[in-house]
Chains A and B, each alone.
Chain A
Amino acid sequence: MAIAVAVIVLAVGSVLFFFLSPWYLTPLASNWGTIDDTITITLWVTGAVFLAVNLFLAYVVVRYRFNKRRRSQYDPENKSLELWLTGVTTLGIAGLLAPGLLVWGAFVSPPEDAHQVEVVGQQWHWSFRFPGEDGRFGAAHNRFIDERNPFGMVDDPAGQDDILITSPHLMLPVDRPVKMVLRSKDVLHNVKVANFRAKMDMVPGQTSYFWFTPTVVGEYEIVCAQLCGIAHFAMRGRIEVVEQEVFDAWLGEQPTFAELAQLAPGNPAAGAGLYVTCAACHGAEGQGNQALNAPKLAGLDAWYLERQLGLFRSGARGSHEDDIYGQQMRPFATLLADRQAIADVSAFIETLPDQPAQARLVGGDPERGARRYRTCANCHGQQGEGIRATNGPRLAGLPDWYLERQLQNFRHGVRGRHRDDPYGNQMIEMAQVLVDDRAVQDVVAYITTLPQPRVDMAAVNPGGVEE
């Protein structure tokens, strides 16, 4: 009896839960209302069957409960009933399948007038490419990817005007069908925006695609929907759907492959002059000054310095009210006039001699920290040497007080929350791995034990035994 009641309550409750719960499809923002329709059809059909079968089950359980004075009825088969049920089920299934196949037919055939965007997935970052004026993508291949050529562009005339967007922020014009051409630099990924409904895996070594028409102006979050390693959950991006004019203006500002190739590299000599301002706090050799809360700069890679200076200058870093020291840095960053100035000063800092930092903090346990650090190692390197491809800066050799402060800033969203700081966003997610202050101290204690590469390189003796 109780089981019959339970079956009734659960069956009816499940259906009510569907109607009453706040959790359902995200607001639709693309042309794929038809996908939602197929979901609705399926929900109605399956809901009806679910109720019918379970309520009948409950009825049977009550009606034919055990009775000593009764025997069950012996009926091995009932051909007409079985055929009838099979027939109805088949019809129901066909009713579900037919609309599904129709919509799939539309899903696999992008319209002729769709414009194209290439989405490139990598561990754990998105970037994008537009075909440029000629409307054709230049050839690209994973073999050709290196630090200077992150898209793996092959020397192809069609690729010269391709517009490359390295940050995971994309704009799309509203009401224009777009074909997303997908490829991956390393493992499988899947570009998903819940509101667009459509998604597809990206597979290294081949391209795949899907298409949709964004219909609602707004901002949408990209998440990765195919397990791609440790930071799968932190592989985020953003698509802004805007009016055509806004899109055109934005696209016009983005550099083409040819333009990027022509950018002058940072000039250390020019940077030396600019660095004079920095030296007041960060020291003449970039050795840092804890008393002034100025971290060590020597030993950091130019690409990282460039990015951070850019963030300070634009206000994406150092504008949070609790980031006191970041706020102090901002005015100095704005002194750098343009991109070239930032590149120059970064290039200069990269040339500064790296001195080992002294450990100042006590209390962290490097052994426990080593276990914490295995998460960090995926982007920042096993030795904390920094990995350009994963956008993880060097950690080894940074002063511990600075590391601790920044980790706490990330944990509490004081740094990295700005919408134009995608790697900071990512680092906020990753910093949650450090569940308390002790975890932060431990991992910092471990990082201070990591070898400091450039110094080591000078110190290595030729016959050095590797441990």
Chain B
Amino acid sequence: MTVTLVFLAVMMALFGGWLFSHSINVRPWEAQGASTQRSQLPPAMTAPRVGLAVFLAVATSLFALTISAYLMRQEMGHDWRPLAVPGLLWWNSACLVLGSVALQSAWQAARRDNAARLRRGLLVGGGFTIAFILGQALAWWQLQARGIYLAANPANAFFFLLTALHVLHLLGGLFAWSRSLFRLQRGATPREMLPSVELCALYWHFLLLVWGILFVLLLTT
């Protein structure tokens, strides 16, 4: 649980600090004239961005807990046989990095109102992501073929569980991505697309980071 607790401690420290800055020296019972500030958060923090941030916190909690369970099970049971991570995962990782880069470029294109680059970025990003997912599936199949079954050992089970959770999150992302693409096909301008493309890009970066952590975890334990 250490992993999860560290994550939560960071979250709560950030939140507590922010709240502290809002509550220290505030005397709530004093009425004041209307403030000029229009909304309670800086304008950059739009609802979708805040929403994404909260969702990423939830997803982080999910992954942190799964990793905690991974480490605890490793410690508690006496039957842990480490799994030889398939080499294919390196290629998959490269795909995911490229996908993330492509979506970043799509985001920039949307900001610069460049429809062609936006479309290319989206397509390439999605393509690499699909390649990553197929690659993960292939890695599963390879493991099965080598006789490394899900139920045989907790290390295997966790490998499948962690990669499956990660792929599920990517599939959710691809759903949002396909809607963006659809809207682009229907003739939405890059400016209109900006909010959704930026959310996609940020989400991909997050999942890339998660994958990085998972990959390192799988390689080192």
Residues of A participating in the B interface, judged by any CB pair closer than 8 Å: 76-77
Question: How far apart are A72's CB and chain B's nearest CB, in angstroms?
Answer: 14
> Which secondary structure dominates chain A's binding surface?
loop
Chain A positions within 8 Å of B28 at CB level: 76
Of residues 6 through 50 on chain B, the ones whose CB sits less than 8 Å from some CB of chain A are 27-29
In the complex, 4 of the A-B residue pairs with CB atoms within 8 angstroms, ordered by the A residue number, are A76-B27, A76-B28, A76-B29, A77-B29
Please report the C-alpha to C-alpha distance between residue A153 and residue B29 in the assembled complex, in whole angstroms.
Answer: 72
Question: How far apart are B72's CB and chain A's nearest CB, in angstroms?
Answer: 13
Chain A positions within 8 Å of B27 at CB level: 76
The 3 tightest CB contacts between A and B, nearest first, are A76-B29, A76-B28, A77-B29
Question: How far apart are B77's CB and chain A's nearest CB, in angstroms?
Answer: 8
Please report the C-alpha to C-alpha distance between residue A76 and residue B27 in the assembled complex, in whole angstroms.
Answer: 9
Question: How far apart are B201's CB and chain A's nearest CB, in angstroms?
Answer: 46
Chain A positions within 8 Å of B29 at CB level: 76-77
Please report the C-alpha to C-alpha distance between residue A76 and residue B30 in the assembled complex, in whole angstroms.
Answer: 10
Chain B positions within 8 Å of A77 at CB level: 29
Report the contact-size class of chain B (Cβ under 8 Å from the partner).
Answer: under 10
Residues of B participating in the A interface, judged by any CB pair closer than 8 Å: 27-29
Please report the C-alpha to C-alpha distance between residue A77 and residue B29 in the assembled complex, in whole angstroms.
Answer: 9
Question: How far apart are A140's CB and chain B's nearest CB, in angstroms?
Answer: 15
Please report the C-alpha to C-alpha distance between residue A76 and residue B28 in the assembled complex, in whole angstroms.
Answer: 9
Question: How far apart are A188's CB and chain B's nearest CB, in angstroms?
Answer: 15
Residue of B nearest to A76 (CB): B29
> Which secondary structure dominates chain B's binding surface?
loop
Residue of A nearest to B27 (CB): A76
Residue of B nearest to A205 (CB): B77
Please report the C-alpha to C-alpha distance between residue A287 and residue B197 in the assembled complex, in whole angstroms.
Answer: 83
Question: How far apart are B190's CB and chain A's nearest CB, in angstroms?
Answer: 52
Please report the C-alpha to C-alpha distance between residue A321 and residue B28 in the assembled complex, in whole angstroms.
Answer: 81
Question: How far apart are B153's CB and chain A's nearest CB, in angstroms?
Answer: 16
Question: How far apart are A220's CB and chain B's nearest CB, in angstroms?
Answer: 33
Please report the C-alpha to C-alpha distance between residue A354 and residue B27 in the assembled complex, in whole angstroms.
Answer: 89
Residue of A nearest to B76 (CB): A206
Please report the C-alpha to C-alpha distance between residue A153 and residue B77 in the assembled complex, in whole angstroms.
Answer: 21
Chain B positions within 8 Å of A76 at CB level: 27-29
Residue of B nearest to A206 (CB): B76
Residue of B nearest to A77 (CB): B29
Residue of B nearest to A75 (CB): B29
Please report the C-alpha to C-alpha distance between residue A77 and residue B23 in the assembled complex, in whole angstroms.
Answer: 14
Question: How far apart are A78's CB and chain B's nearest CB, in angstroms?
Answer: 12
Residue of A nearest to B29 (CB): A76
Question: How far apart are A189's CB and chain B's nearest CB, in angstroms?
Answer: 19
Question: How far apart are A126's CB and chain B's nearest CB, in angstroms?
Answer: 26
Question: How far apart are A255's CB and chain B's nearest CB, in angstroms?
Answer: 31
Please report the C-alpha to C-alpha distance between residue A77 and residue B27 in the assembled complex, in whole angstroms.
Answer: 10
Question: How far apart are A82's CB and chain B's nearest CB, in angstroms?
Answer: 15
Question: How far apart are A334's CB and chain B's nearest CB, in angstroms?
Answer: 51
Please report the C-alpha to C-alpha distance between residue A77 and residue B30 in the assembled complex, in whole angstroms.
Answer: 12
Residue of A nearest to B77 (CB): A205
Question: How far apart are B52's CB and chain A's nearest CB, in angstroms?
Answer: 37
Residue of A nearest to B78 (CB): A205
Please report the C-alpha to C-alpha distance between residue A77 and residue B28 in the assembled complex, in whole angstroms.
Answer: 10
Please report the C-alpha to C-alpha distance between residue A76 and residue B26 in the assembled complex, in whole angstroms.
Answer: 13
Please report the C-alpha to C-alpha distance between residue A358 and residue B28 in the assembled complex, in whole angstroms.
Answer: 86
Question: How far apart are A277's CB and chain B's nearest CB, in angstroms?
Answer: 54
Residue of B nearest to A74 (CB): B29
Question: How far apart are B78's CB and chain A's nearest CB, in angstroms?
Answer: 9
Question: How far apart are A398's CB and chain B's nearest CB, in angstroms?
Answer: 41
Question: How far apart are A71's CB and chain B's nearest CB, in angstroms?
Answer: 16
Question: How far apart are B102's CB and chain A's nearest CB, in angstroms?
Answer: 48
Question: How far apart are A203's CB and chain B's nearest CB, in angstroms?
Answer: 11
Question: How far apart are A184's CB and chain B's nearest CB, in angstroms?
Answer: 16
Please report the C-alpha to C-alpha distance between residue A341 and residue B103 in the assembled complex, in whole angstroms.
Answer: 84
Question: How far apart are B76's CB and chain A's nearest CB, in angstroms?
Answer: 8
Please report the C-alpha to C-alpha distance between residue A11 and residue B28 in the assembled complex, in whole angstroms.
Answer: 35
Residue of A nearest to B30 (CB): A76
Residue of A nearest to B28 (CB): A76
Please report the C-alpha to C-alpha distance between residue A76 and residue B31 in the assembled complex, in whole angstroms.
Answer: 13
Question: How far apart are B130's CB and chain A's nearest CB, in angstroms?
Answer: 41
Please report the C-alpha to C-alpha distance between residue A243 and residue B27 in the assembled complex, in whole angstroms.
Answer: 71
Question: How far apart are B23's CB and chain A's nearest CB, in angstroms?
Answer: 13
Question: How far apart are B211's CB and chain A's nearest CB, in angstroms?
Answer: 32
Question: How far apart are B96's CB and chain A's nearest CB, in angstroms?
Answer: 37
Please report the C-alpha to C-alpha distance between residue A195 and residue B29 in the assembled complex, in whole angstroms.
Answer: 56
Question: How far apart are A62's CB and chain B's nearest CB, in angstroms?
Answer: 27
Question: How far apart are A253's CB and chain B's nearest CB, in angstroms?
Answer: 37
